[in-house]
Amino acid sequence: MPKLVFSRHGLSEWNALNQFTGWVDVDLAPEGVEEAKEGGRKIKEAGIEFDIAYTSVLKRAIKTCNYILEESDQLWVPQIKSWRLNERHYGALQGLNKKETAEKYGDEQVHIWRRSYDTLPPLLDATDPGSAANDRRYAMLDPRDVPGGENLKVTLERALPFWQDEIAPALKDDKTVLVAAHGNSLRALAKHIEGISDDDIMDLEIPTGQPLVYELNDDLTVAKKYYL
């Protein structure tokens, strides 16, 4: 039975400051480092042995992946990094304080921007100094693929080819897979894996640093789901 483990990165510096983060490459907060290490210890206690690990190109996810593998004595496991596993791009909201943004635009509007499946945030122009178009880690991408902002629907559309081309074939080959990524990229993949509706996905929250285990059938439908 194929086994898939999701781990949302530990608490980041901007999580701690209640700021929209998205594609901004912020580091883990000290609490986030401990969360990631504890996730690795839980994986070791559960006896889960990985064959391959996938993560994004953002340091908070990469470091979480490393801490998990180190604490579970599996740092040798091959890792593949992809921008397709990045957090949802929050557009012009990136860097703003969530509470202050709610005071300016209203709680309901900010809730829609954060949780709606198909509503885009205010977009970030490609000429903005903070645009990913200026970041060399995305230089290989078609400029049309560099987002100015994403909703969960667009995040899933971006992540799904990586699932189909990389993660799903590994699982079908009976490999045990770790995906250390972000709240929204993991929510998007969970929506696909679990068949969650557009409305119900708004209520799905994946905690930081807590491994989520899927035991899958041969057709990659979910046989069992649980947190460690």
Q: Residue 15 annotated as binding?
A: yes
Closest CA to 83 of 151, 142, 129, 15: 142
- Report whether 60 belongs to an annotated binding site: yes
Is the distance from CB of 210 to CB of 34 less than 8 angstroms? no
Please say if 87 is a catalytic residue: yes
9 annotated as belonging to a binding site for a ligand: yes
Helix (H/G/I), strand (E/B), else coil: 106: coil
Q: Can you say how many angstroms the Cα of residue 193 is from the centroid of all Cα atoms in its chain?
A: 14
Q: Where are the alpha helices (DSSP H) in 131-227?
A: 152-162, 168-172, 183-194
User: Does 41 appear as a known binding residue?
Assistant: no
Q: In what order do the strands lie in the sheet with 176-181?
A: 79-81, 52-55, 176-181, 3-8, 212-216, 222-227
21 annotated binding-site participant: yes
14 known ligand binder: yes
Was 97 annotated as part of a binding site? no
Which residue from 199, 180, 10 is spatially nearest to 82, judged by alpha carbons? 180
Active-site hit among 71, 87, 150, 182: 87
HSE on the CB side for 55, CA within 13 Å? Answer: 21
State yes or no: 87 annotated in a binding site: yes
Is 88 annotated for ligand binding?
yes
Output the CA torsion sign for 193, 194, 198, 202.
Answer: negative
The answer to whether the annotation marks 158 as part of a ligand binding site is no
Could you tell me which of 152, 181, 145, 150 has the C-alpha nearest to residue 166?
Answer: 181
Active-site residue flag, 192: no
Which residue is catalytic, options 9, 71, 150, 182? 9
Instruction: Report whether 114 belongs to an annotated binding site.
Output: yes
CA dist 49 and 127 (Å) reads 45
Answer yes or no: is 144 a known binding residue: no
State yes or no: 184 annotated in a binding site: yes
Annotated binding site: 8-15, 21-22, 60, 87-90, 98, 114-115, 183-184
Annotated binding site for substrate: 8-15, 21-22, 60, 87-90, 98, 114-115, 183-184
Q: Among all residues, which ones are annotated catalytic?
A: 9, 87
